[in-house]
Every structure is written in C-alpha cells, then in structure tokens.
Structure 1
Amino acid sequence: MTDPVSDLTFRDATADDVSAVVDLVESAYRGESSRAGWTTEADLLRGRRTDTAGIAAVVASPASFLLLAHREDVLVGCCELRRTADEPGPVAYFGTFAVSPAAQGGGIGRALLARADAEAVTRWGSGALEMTVIAQRTDLIAWYERLGFRGTGERRPFPYGDERFGIPQRDDLEFVVLRRPTAGTPR
C-alpha cells in the first residue's frame, strides 16, 4: 500500500507565501468553502480568521516560523510554530494549523503535525507543543487528544470585540489550552 502523504514536501514560508497562506487558512475555517472539510468554524464565527499582516508578522519574526506542506507544488497545509516559554524546557506554540478542505481526512494534518513537532525539537529543543482550541470545538479537541494532546485545565478568554479573530455568533466562546510532549519526550 502506498503512503498517502509520501508525496508531501515541507518548507518554511517566505514573504512571497503570505497571500496563499491567508487564502488557505480562510478556506479551512471560514465561509461556505470551509464546509467542504470538517475544520469549519463557520457556525461559531463569521468574518476573517487571519489577515496578511498577521501572517506576515509570523513569517518575519525570528521567534517563529510558518511551515508549509505542498503536494505537487500546490499548498495543501500550514502551521505556525513559535517559541513561547522555558518550563523546564522550551515550549513551542502550535497554531495557524490548516489543511485545504478538499484534502482533509487524508493524513496531511497528521504528517504536518509530525513534521512541526520534529522541527520544534530540532530548532529549539522543545519538550512540548502547546495550542489553544475553541472549547466548543469538541470534535477537533478529540482529534488532538488522539494525537497525544491533553487539556492543561487552563482556559483563556475569546477576544470579543477584536474582529481580527472573527465575529462571534455566540457569547460563550473561550479557548482551552492543550499540550503534548514532543516526539522523544516521555509521555
């Protein structure tokens, strides 16, 4: 049997990739196009999920990088890694994670997460990946739990009033913090 993700290539994003990344993230999470996949937030939030300034800042920052996944020169996935803390070893924030709705369910997300994990260890010696997920996204949280993430018990408020994060369709949104040891770290 052929590995369905063996044809993926990975690289760091550059300033030339910013527009394509914004389009990918928007397609995976917002609007009608996002409903083709299972990661849609369209029923929770309207408006934008990201913008060119936000993605450009991640690409330009020396404390972060944006990892891209391509299949036959087509962008199919991305994720951000940012060094955030030393407790007791470096922790990498994992976010801006998106897979093209048409390609979801084929292992790209798992492959991208595995590559991101390895890069966090190689670049920073990270002992853990940490992320935030909207608490109401129980299906997405369950997927991350199957990949080794666990809730930390910490919750963070949703930034109501800041339309850079979208226009909430309900008044009870908040983030849960998930964390997992990086590969090679005892679980």
Structure 2
Amino acid sequence: MDTALPRETGRTAFRDATDADVPELVALIESAYRGDSSRAGWTTEADILEGQRTDPDGVRTTLSAPGSRVLVVERDGAMVACCHLEHRGEAAYFGMFAVRPGLQGAGLGKLTIAEAERSAREDWGVSEMQMTVISVREELIAWYERRGYRRTGRMSPFPYGDERFGIPRRDDLAFELLVKDLGQG
C-alpha cells in the first residue's frame, strides 16, 4: 500500500499526517489526555498528570524522524483520532494514540489500532507491536489486553522533572512495555 494515499474504511479515512496537521494534532492529543475536556472520554490522564501531553515541536520532530509516521483518522473530513508508528527492526512502536473524547467508547479506537497494526505488518513486515503505558492506568492496560497486548513487567522510569511530558500529581509513575504478536507479514 502507498501510505501517502488515504485508505478508507466505510466513512472513516486513514492517511499519513503532514506538517499542516500539527496544530490540529496537538489540539486532539491534548483534548484526549489533559484538562477538563479530556474528562468527556475515558482515556484522561488529568488525575495523574497536569500540564501538556505534547507540543508542536514534539509533533514536528515525530513527523520528520526516519522510520516514523503519524496516522490521522478522519470522519467526514474531520480529524477524530491519531497514532504514531515507529519502525524498530522486527517491531513497530505504537504511541501518541488519541481519540476525540466525545467519540471514545464507540469503536473508533479499536478501528484505529487495527489499522495501525495492519499497516505496520504490511508496510514494514514487522511481527510485533510494542507500546509503553503508564503502569497505574489499569483500565487502559485492560483495554489493550482485550486487543491482544500482553504486559511484560518491563518498566522504564517516568521522566519526572521534564515538563514536556506533564507535571505528575503522584510519585509512583512508570511506563510498562506492552507487546502484541502481529504474526507473519
């Protein structure tokens, strides 16, 4: 598949983000994770982190990194979800996953992650998807487990003191690696 072209599933279209999408991507990601707007959905981190989730420079850096792409999900021409994919050898890393809060819980997240997995497997030939999730996010981890991801118990520290990742409201944050076997490409 030529990833530069949009792919449509029903009324949902998938395409790679461009620099022109940066402001809208930042707004979508922030709305899904931080502040009062994020409380309209279930993926909010507002109770554990304050401050920003991302910024325009961070998104631009992600877009321009080798082996990296940001998948935009649109419905009726409006950006409703996104995720970041990074090619890491035999695996792909999945992150920066956001669904507009008012649309969460209606299957859009499942559709987005399935397209990300399909794309990583077909475009890069990877056999595994990896992600890191804040370990205290039990409901979110359970959602990923229902999608076939498994907890590894491998932890990495939360970047306390680096406000680019938010301002922690608790002192027990760490990232856990989750993985999913994507099978043969």
TM bin (shorter chain): over 0.9
Deviations 1:15-63 (A, max 9, x none): 0001100000000000000000000000000000001011111111221
Instruction: Name stretches of at least 5 consecutive residues in structure 1 with no aligned partner.
Output: none
Partners of 1:59 and 1:130 in 2: CA distance: 19
2:65 aligned with 1:66: no
Partners of 2:66 and 2:19 in 1: CA distance: 13
**1:155 alignment partner in structure 2:** 155
**1:134 alignment partner in structure 2:** 134
The code of the aligned residue for 1:17 comes to D
Worse overlay, 56-65 or 20-29: 56-65
Deviations 1:100-147 (A, max 9, x none): 001101111111111111111122111010000001100000000000
Percent identity of paired positions between Structure 1 and Structure 2: 52
Once the two structures are superposed, the pairs formed by residues 11-26 of structure 1 within 5 Å of their partners are: 11-26=15-30
The code of the aligned residue for 1:172 comes to D
The code of the aligned residue for 1:52 comes to P
Shift of 1:185: 4.1
> In structure 1, which of residues 34, 38, 44 is the aligned counterpart of residue 42 of structure 2?
38
Partners of 1:39 and 1:19 in 2: CA distance: 21
Instruction: Name stretches of at least 5 consecutive residues in structure 2 with no aligned partner.
Output: 1-8
**2:6 alignment partner in structure 1:** none
User: Moved runs in structure 1, 4+ residues, more than 2 A?
Assistant: none
In the superposition, the TM-score normalised over structure 1's length comes to: 0.92
Partners of 1:110 and 1:95 in 2: CA distance: 14
Q: Count matched residues.
A: 177
Shift of 1:76: 0.4
**1:176 alignment partner in structure 2:** 176
Partners of 1:129 and 1:57 in 2: CA distance: 21
Shift of 1:6: 2.6
3-state secondary structure, aligned to 1:27: helix
